[in-house]
Amino acid sequence: MFLSQSNIELHVVDGGLGVAVKSFTPSSGRWSSLTEKQVISQLKKIGVRIELDHDLIHQVVAKAASNSDITGMTVLKGVAPKRKGDDFFRLKGNPDFPVFKGMVLGTLEKLAKDIPGRDVFNQEILPGSSQNTAGFKLGKGCVLDKETNKVLARGYAQVFISESELSLKPLFRLSSDRIKITSVLFHSDFYGRPITMEMMIQSLEEMQIKDSIDLEAIKHGLEKSSKTGTPQITIVAKGREAQNGRDGYFEPSEVIRPPDIDDSDLAAKIDFREQSIFKSVKAGTLLGMIHPPVPGQDGLDVFGKAISAEQGIEAGVSPGKNVEIDSKGHITALAPGMVVFEGSSLSVLDFTRINSDVDYSTGNIKLESGSVQITGSVKEGFSVKCPEHVLIMGNVEEARIEAGGNVEVSYGVVMKNGGRIRAGGIFRCRFAENAVIEAGGNVVFSSNLTNCRISTEGNILSSGEGIVMGGVLKAGNCVEVSQIGSEYGIRTEVYVGHNPGKLEKLIAEKKKLIMHHKEIKDMLVKQAMENKAGGLSPEQKNRARELMDTYNSIQNRIERMDRIIEERGISEESVSKYYVLIKNTAYPGTIISIAGKSFKVVETLHSPRFYFNYPKGTVSWS
């Protein structure tokens, strides 16, 4: 592919006292190819004769590299002439060393005679022949005593002086969190005198810093600077960082811990409430422990002001049915049953145990109440239905499972074209192939989902390898997996959030109901007037009551529609919770749809997070 080279054009400005960029066209490649060599070459073409200022040239090249506009930037300056009577500064010390508050930097005086300048062609410029003369001004960090014309320093700083300006750069730097102050320590000052501990302490106290001064650090920095003759970067004041609290958490016992969950990384603790059912237990079994939150400790900035710490919050787990908690946070089962998280409560519920596979020996399983535990697998062609939870210790093989609550499969789900799983709550498994799964809560898996069709009002989450290849995934708010698609370009579709396009039919229906609602209201008003005028017959009164019932029914339907439209409509707040996080790799062939807008992955992406870009109305990734 041919890439055009960058092109820069310079011109002389300010009557020969400077050279600036007239125009610049960057290269067609990804990066600007402007170099210092190109700028110097153009300067030679112009015919400049004075010494080049490589700092100015470097600034222009650096700005071009950042794709910024460099038009008008100066690349070379001449020496402006000075007129008799113009201000000039007479320096009294060595600007290589720092000044302290109140120290005299020099005096602002008047020139006794004209001083010629030099243009970029090294030609002399007399003050009378040029409108540009080198005036002098005082910049930041210094102040003029008008009675004596002495220039004084405002604080501990480094001196910067040019032909036209004097300024001071503070040598104390406050961190953004106000926890520390860093400084550069020298062995001597502007006048060549040794810098002492007392001088540094006084400078810090002038900034209202006292208790946080690090005396040992200052002493060590000054001693090292004196020995080496070089400045030392030192943290001269330290506050105390706020120590954020730690949230409380539930630690399950080994008896109920899912076998394929690794919580060794305490920084990324598993929320065990997302893991649904664990297993059946006996009365007296220790289910786990609730660890209380650790309170935070406020900090102090270098000025002694408090920095608030975040406080830990409670674990959010409470004892439910047939469970008790002691004063130490231990949770124990009071009766035999199945361990289940119900919202924020941990309960032990009654259940029916099937000590075998569900096959010809048992027939289909249908319970009128409670939960069921199946110690084996559910074989092809059979079904399990119960109003609460289903725990399957083996596999699901081309079967139908329906539960009002959670469904947990300890191993995998393998289907062809006739099986289906419906869970009113959470669904969890290790792996699934060609499965059709519907859930009211989260869908959690640890190994892989291959060519599955999954639809949930909750989220789709992986707790292990988390590989998704092929199929269609639909989630309420988010999908978090490790890998999606494959290097062979297998089509994999992910849908997150409500599609506002599907609301159009609902909005049209609502408009019709509003019109009908108004018609009934007009009829009721007419009947009320007739009743006031001469009364209504019994038949008319019955008709009025029926109309009123219809009127109230339509009103309720309109209100329900309003709630649905508000919940599923697009707003910046509503779409902010929609995202798809791929922790490792997203392969080409993957289609990500969020709130009705789609993004097709056309190149391999590493650790992308897809989200709805509200200002643009598109799916973006970072």
Residue 582 near residue 603, CB atoms below 8 Å: no
Q: What are phi and psi of 376, to 5 degrees?
A: -110, -140
User: Can you say whether residue 75 is alpha, beta or left, with left for phi > 0 and alpha for psi between -120 and 50 degrees?
Assistant: alpha
Spatial separation of the C-alpha atoms in residues 220 and 109, rounded to whole Å: 41
Say whether both 376 and 492 belong to one domain. Answer: yes
Q: Are strands 590-594 and 390-392 parallel, antiparallel or unpaired?
A: unpaired
Q: Which of 44-53, 123-132, 446-455, 545-554 has the lowest mean pLDDT?
A: 123-132
- Other beta carbons within 10 angstroms of residue 388's beta carbon come to 22
Name 551's Cβ contacts closer than 8 Å, sequence gap at least 6.
Answer: 517, 520, 521, 524
Cα four-point dihedral sign 88, 94, 97, 99: negative
52 inside domain: yes
End-to-end distance of the chain based on CA atoms, in angstroms?
28
pLDDT of residue 265: 39
Say whether both 198 and 98 belong to one domain. Answer: no
Spatial separation of the C-alpha atoms in residues 220 and 228, rounded to whole Å: 12
Residue 164 near residue 137, CB atoms below 8 Å: yes
Residue 43 near residue 60, CB atoms below 8 Å: no
Spatial separation of the C-alpha atoms in residues 45 and 201, rounded to whole Å: 55
User: How many structural domains does the chain have?
Assistant: 6
Mean pLDDT calculated for residue range 64-85: 85
Name the one residue in this structure whose structure tokens are 């950042």: 66
Helices of type H across 105-241: 197-205, 215-228
Cα four-point dihedral sign 138, 143, 146, 148: negative
Spatial separation of the C-alpha atoms in residues 108 and 144, rounded to whole Å: 8
Would you state the structure tokens that stand for residue 314, as one six-digit string? 């409670």
pLDDT of residue 568: 61
DSSP 23-73: EEE--SSSS----HHHHHHHHHHHT--SPP-HHHHHHHHHHHHTT---TT-
- Indicate whether 243 pLDDT > 90: yes
Cα four-point dihedral sign 333, 338, 344, 345: negative
pLDDT of residue 511: 80
Q: How confident is the model at residue 467 (pLDDT cuts 50, 70, 90)?
A: very high
pLDDT of residue 68: 83
Name the domain boundary from 316, 344, 372.
Answer: 344
Q: Which residue has the higher pLDDT, 402 or 34?
A: 402
Say whether both 257 and 399 belong to one domain. Answer: no
Spatial separation of the C-alpha atoms in residues 372 and 383, rounded to whole Å: 13
Q: Name the amino acid, one letter, at 107.
A: T
615 inside domain: no
613 inside domain: no
Name the domain boundary from 466, 500, 534.
Answer: 500
620 inside domain: no
Say whether both 166 and 286 belong to one domain. Answer: no
Would you state the structure tokens that stand for residue 237, as one six-digit string? 């004041």
State pTM to two decimals.
Answer: 0.55
DSSP 275: G
User: Can you say whether residue 466 is alpha, beta or left, with left for phi > 0 and alpha for psi between -120 and 50 degrees?
Assistant: left
Spatial separation of the C-alpha atoms in residues 161 and 153, rounded to whole Å: 13
Say whether both 356 and 426 belong to one domain. Answer: yes
pLDDT of residue 266: 35
Q: Are strands 400-403 and 420-423 parallel, antiparallel or unpaired?
A: parallel
pLDDT of residue 474: 95
607 inside domain: no
Say whether both 45 and 190 belong to one domain. Answer: no
Q: Are strands 365-366 and 383-386 parallel, antiparallel or unpaired?
A: parallel
Measuring CA to CA, which residue among 408, 354, 406 is closest to residue 382?
A: 354
Spatial separation of the C-alpha atoms in residues 276 and 389, rounded to whole Å: 9
- Indicate whether 438 pLDDT > 50: yes
Spatial separation of the C-alpha atoms in residues 595 and 576, rounded to whole Å: 11
pLDDT in tens, 256-285: 876 554 444 333 344 554 444 557 789 999
* Residue 101 belongs to domain spanning: 87-170
**E strands along 515-564, which residues?**
none
pLDDT in tens, 293-351: 999 999 999 999 999 999 999 988 888 899 999 999 999 999 998 888 777 788 888 88
Q: How far is CA 74 from CA 6, 32, 71, 291, 338, in A?
A: 18, 19, 9, 64, 78
Mean pLDDT calculated for residue range 519-536: 76
Would you state the structure tokens that stand for residue 601, as one six-digit string? 């992955």
pLDDT of residue 617: 79
Name the domain boundary from 461, 477, 500.
Answer: 500
Name 197's Cβ contacts closer than 8 Å, sequence gap at least 6.
Answer: 215, 218, 219, 222
Say whether both 545 and 432 belong to one domain. Answer: no
Say whether both 354 and 490 belong to one domain. Answer: yes
pLDDT in tens, 567-622: 665 566 777 889 999 999 999 999 999 988 899 999 999 999 999 887 787 899 99
3-state secondary structure of 526: helix
Q: Which of 261-265, 350-354, 495-499 has the lowest mean pLDDT?
A: 261-265
Say whether both 496 and 369 belong to one domain. Answer: yes
Say whether both 355 and 484 belong to one domain. Answer: yes
pLDDT in tens, 104-152: 999 988 888 888 888 889 998 888 765 555 567 888 899 999 899 999 9
Say whether both 96 and 64 belong to one domain. Answer: no
pLDDT of residue 329: 92
pLDDT in tens, 167-217: 999 999 999 999 999 999 999 999 999 999 999 999 999 999 989 999 999
Q: Name the amino acid, one letter, at 81.
A: P
Q: Which residue has the higher pLDDT, 74 or 266?
A: 74
Q: Which of 216-220, 498-502, 557-561 has the lowest mean pLDDT?
A: 498-502
Mutual angle of helices 503-534 and 538-568, in 10-degree steps:
150
261 inside domain: yes
Mean pLDDT calculated for residue range 402-426: 91
Q: Name the amino acid, one letter, at 304.
A: G
Mean pLDDT calculated for residue range 467-491: 94
Classify residue 513 as exposed, middle or buried by CB count within 10 Å of its CB (0-12, 13-18, 19+). Answer: middle
Measuring CA to CA, which residue among 204, 106, 209, 207 is closest to residue 161?
A: 106
pLDDT of residue 3: 43
Q: What percent of the chain stands above pLDDT 70?
A: 90
Residue 472 near residue 454, CB atoms below 8 Å: yes
Say whether both 507 and 486 belong to one domain. Answer: no
Q: How confident is the model at residue 437 (pLDDT cuts 50, 70, 90)?
A: very high
